[in-house]
Chain A
Amino acid sequence: MANFYLDNENLKFHLSHPLMEKIVRLKEKNYIEKDQYDYAPRDFEDAFDSYDKVLEVVGEISGDIIGPNAEGVDHEGPQLIDNEVRYAPGTVDNLEALKNAGLIGMSLPREYDGLNFPMIPYVMAAEIVSRADAGFANIWGLQDCAETIHEFASDEIKKEYLPRFNKGATAAMDLTEPDAGSDLQAVQLKATFNPEDKTWYLDGVKRFITNGDADISLVLARSEPNTTDARGLSLFVYERASKAVTIRRIENKLGIKGSPTCELVFRNAPAKLIGDTKLGLIKYVMSLMNSARLGVGAQSVGIAEAAMREARKYAEEREQFGKPIIQYPAVFELLTNMKVKTDAIRSLLYETARFVDIYKAYTFISQERKLDAAEREDYKNYLKLADMFTPLLKLVSSEYCNQIAYDSLQIHGGAGFMKDFPIERIYRDARITTIYEGTSQLQVVAAIRGVSTGIYAKAMQNYLSVPVKAELEYLKSVLEKMADQFGKIVEKVNEQESPEFVDFHARRLVEMAGNVIIGCLLLHDANRDDRYAKSADIFIRMGRADNISKVSLINQSHPKDLGAYKA
C-alpha cells in the first residue's frame, strides 16, 4: 500500500516552486474556463490543490499496481501474435488502472477531454510512474504524441484524434529506420500523395519503434521525391485500425523489456499529414524530441529514486562483521552521493520543465491573440532556456541515473547480481536512458550551443544575482568562482580557433556548465528549504573538484594533440 507521491516529500517541494503561480496563470489563461468546465480550477490555490490530489492517485496506482507488476512484466514481456503486439498481463492492468482514473492525456486541453495540466505535474507523474516501472513509463509517456498533434495538426485531425487519448488510446512515434538513427535526415520511408482519394500513403521500414503497434502513430516520412535531407521530410499520423503495417518482430532487449520495441513494414499505409509538408523533421519532430527528452529526464530521475531506495533498504538490513553495512564509510558515502545526485537531477528536471511550461503556454496563447512586446520577450527568453536546458538535462540525468543504478547494485554485492532483488532490473532499465531520444554524445552537440552562445553563462549570472541566506553565502561564493573559471576556460578553448578542438572538449565544457548550474539550483533549493543544504554543500564540493580536474585536462591539451586520439 505504498504511495509513490506521498512517500517522497521532494515532489511537493518542487511542485510548490514560486514560479508555479505564473505557469498556472498562463496555462489556464487567467482561469478563463472556471465556469465552463466543472473540473477547471478557479484560481492558483485551487489548481495547485488539484495537481496535488491527482498526483496522489498517480502515486497510489504506481505503488499498488505498477510497481508490484514490474517484475512479472519484465519476465514475461510483450508477445507478437498474428501481427499484433500483446502486452504482458501486468502492462494491461497498469494501463487499465491509469485509463480508468483518467490519467492519460493529462496535458491536453479540456476541449479534447484532457486535464489541461502544465508540464510540471505531468512530468512529476512521469517520474512517479518511472520509479515504479521505467519500461512501462515509456508506453504511458507516449501520450506526448498527443501534445504534438495538438500543437501542429489541423483542427480536423485534432478533433478526430485527441479525445481518444483520454479514453486510453496508445501512441507511438515512428522515426528511426535501419539507416537513420541519430541522423534522422536520412529517413527514407516514402510518403506518396494520391490526388484521386486525396490521401497520403506510406511505404517503407521503421526500426526500434517503441510501442510500434499503438492505436495512433506519428510517422516521419519522405514526402518530397528526389530529396536527401531534412527538408524533404514530413510528419504523418497513421491509424492502427488501417491494418497496413506488418510487425516484423519485437526486439529482445537488455532492459525496459515490458515496452515492445518493434520493426515495422509500412505497405501502402494510408496516413494524414500533420501541419505542412517539409516541416516534419525541422519543426515538428524537433519539438516532439524535446518533449521526449524531458520525458527521459523524468524517467532517469524515477529510476535514480528507485535505485537509491533499494540500496538504502539493503544497506540497512544487510549485516557484515557484526553491523549493518550502512554504518561503513565506504557504503554511506556511496549512499549519500546517490541521494545528492538524485536531488541534483530532480532539481534540473523541474527547472527545465518550468521553462518548457512557460514557453509552451505562450505558444498557445499566441495562436489566439498577438502577444504584447513584454510577453514576446518573455517567451523568447524561456524558449531559449528550454532549448538549452533540455539537452543538458537529458545528458546529466541519464548519466547520473546509470551511475546511481551501478552503485546501488554494488551495495547489494553478490545478491545484486542475482535476479532476486529489483536492482538487477533497475540497472538494466537504466542503461537505455543515455542512448535513446538522442545519445549523450548527441546531447552534447546540442548543448554546446549553450556554451558558445553564452546562454549557460547568463543563466549562471542570473542565479547568482539572487541573494541567499547568510549561512549559504559560502556556497554562493564557491559557485561564483566556478562560474568565473568556466568563462575563462571556454575562452581559452575558443582561442585555439579550431572547431575540432571545441568538439573534442565539448562534453567537458557542457558538464562543467552543468555542475555550476545544478549547483545554483541546489543552492536555491537550500535557500527555500533547509533540508537541501546538505545536498547543495556536497554537490558543490563534488562539482568544484570535477571542474578543477576538467580544467586541468583542458589546460594540458592542444589542437595538435588530437592526432593521438584519432582512430
Chain B
Amino acid sequence: MSFRIIVLAKQVPDTRNVGKDAMKADGTVNRAALPAIFNPEDLNALELALRIKDQMEDCEVIVLTMGPFRAAEIIRESLYRGADKGYLITDRKFAGSDTLATSYALSLAVKKLQPFNLLISGRQAIDGDTAQVGPQAAEKLHIPQITYAEEVLAVTNDSITVKRRLERGVEVVKSSLPCAITAHSSAPACRYRLAKNIMKYKHARTVTELQNETKDYTELYNLRPYLQLDEWTADDLLADVSWLGLSGSPTKVKKIENVVFQAKDSKVLSSSDEDIDNLMKELLNSHVIG
C-alpha cells in the first residue's frame, strides 16, 4: 500500500500584480483582467508533498482542485512538476461556495480517495486570504491538523514531524497520521516543471475539455488512459446539495471597500547612529516592526 498524499490546490486570479481594472464598479473582482494562476502557497504545499515522495520508496501524490473547467490547468501544472494524478471537482452546484461549502465538497472528495496518509494544502489563497479551507476540511475528516508548516522534518508510515512558522518564532510538532497540513509561504518554493513531464502530460484533458478540442486525439487517449483527467460532480461526491454553493454558504459579503494606502507623515533623518537608533525605537514602540 503506497503512502498517499492528497494536495488541495486552487486556481486563483493573480492579485499580486493588480492593475487599474482589477476591480469592477460593484466592488467584485474582475477575473477577466487578472490571469488565473496556481495559488502560491498551494505550490508550497505541492513541493512539501513532492519532497516526501522523493524520499519515500512507494508514495503517490494526488492533486484535488475545485473550480470551473479551466481549473484543469492546475492538475496539468501539478503533473508537470511531479504529481501522479489529479481530479477536478467541478459542478455548477458549487458556484458561490464560501469556505464552509468548499471544505464540505473537498472533504467528500478526499473521502473518496481514502485511505490516505496526508492531506496538504496551502495556508490560504490570495483571492480570499481566509486560511479556513484546510482546517475546516481537517475537522470534517476528523483528523489532526498542523497549520503554517514550513518544513517536514521527518515522516514515517504513521507519524510526521513538522516545523511551523509562527509570527514570533518556530514550533516543532509531531502528529499521528493521517493528518492535515497547511503550508506557509516560507516553505520551499515549488520545483520547476520538468521538461519530460511537460511533454508527457500536456495532452491531459478532462472530458469537458476534450469536447472543445479541434484535434482528434482519440487514438492517443486509448493508448495512454492516464491522459484522461477525471471530473467529479456533486453527484459523484454524493453531496447534500443544500450544503453546497450559495445555500451552503453562511458567509455573506456585506460591503467591499477600496482602500488606498497613502503615506501622510514624513520625517527627515540624518545618517547619524543616534537618529537611526531613535527611529528603530519608535518603530518598535509603535509595533511597526518586532
Binding site for B on A (CB under 8 A): 35, 38-42, 45, 49-50, 53-54, 57, 60-61, 97, 100-103, 106, 115
Contacts and interface: CB of A to CB of B under 8 A. Distances in A.
A100 B198 contact: no
B192 A41 contact: no
Given A40-B199, A100-B192, A102-B197, 8 more contacts: A39-B197, A53-B199, A54-B199, A57-B192, A61-B192, A102-B194, A102-B195, A115-B195
B220 interface: yes
A282 B202 CA distance: 44
B32 interface: no
A38 B198 CA distance: 10
A42 to B, nearest CB: 7
Contacts of A115: 195-196, 199
Contacts of B202: 49-50, 53
A60 B198 contact: no
A101 B224 CA distance: 23
18 contacts: A35-B223, A38-B224, A39-B197, A39-B199, A40-B199, A42-B220, A45-B215, A50-B198, A53-B199, A54-B195, A54-B198, A57-B193, A61-B192, A100-B191, A100-B192, A101-B193, A101-B195, A102-B196
Contacts of B198: 50, 53-54, 57
Interface string B101-125: 0000000000000000000000000
A116 B223 CA distance: 22
A50 B199 contact: yes
B24 interface: no
Contacts of A42: 220
Contacts of A103: 195
B200 interface: yes
A57 B197 CA distance: 12
A101 B200 contact: no
Contacts of B220: 42
Q: Which of A50, A101, A106 has the most CB of B within 10 A?
A: A101
B200 A39 contact: yes
Task: Give the interface centre of B196, B198, B200 by most chain A CB atoms within 10 Å.
Answer: B196
Nearest to B223: A35
A141 B104 CA distance: 51
Interface in B197-251: 197-200, 202, 215, 220, 223-224
A97 B223 contact: no
A106 B195 CA distance: 9
Contacts of B223: 35
Of A57, A60, A106, chain B has the most CB atoms within 10 Å of the CB of A57
Interface of B: 191-200, 202, 215, 220, 223-224
A100 B194 contact: yes
A14 B223 CA distance: 33
A288 to B, nearest CB: 24
Nearest to A55: B195
A101 B227 CA distance: 21
B216 to A, nearest CB: 11
Contacts of B191: 100-101
Nearest to B226: A38
Contacts of B195: 54, 57, 101-103, 106, 115
A418 B215 CA distance: 56
Contacts of A102: 194-197
B199 A101 contact: no
A103 B191 CA distance: 13
Nearest to A38: B200
Contacts of A45: 215
B199 A97 contact: no
Contacts of B224: 38
A103 B197 CA distance: 12
A124 to B, nearest CB: 14
A50 B199 CA distance: 6
A103 B195 CA distance: 7
B180 to A, nearest CB: 28
A88 to B, nearest CB: 20
Given A35-B223, A38-B224, A60 B199 contact: no
A97 B200 contact: no
- Of A49, A60, A61, A102, most B-chain CB atoms within 10 Å: A102
B200 A60 contact: no
Contact of B194 (A35, A101, A106): A101
A102 to B, nearest CB: 4
A35 B194 CA distance: 20
Contacts of A40: 199
Nearest to B227: A38
Interface centre among A39, A53, A54, A115 (most CB of B within 10 A): A39
A428 B288 CA distance: 43
A120 to B, nearest CB: 16
Contacts of A41: 199
A192 B70 CA distance: 64
B49 to A, nearest CB: 16
Nearest to A115: B195
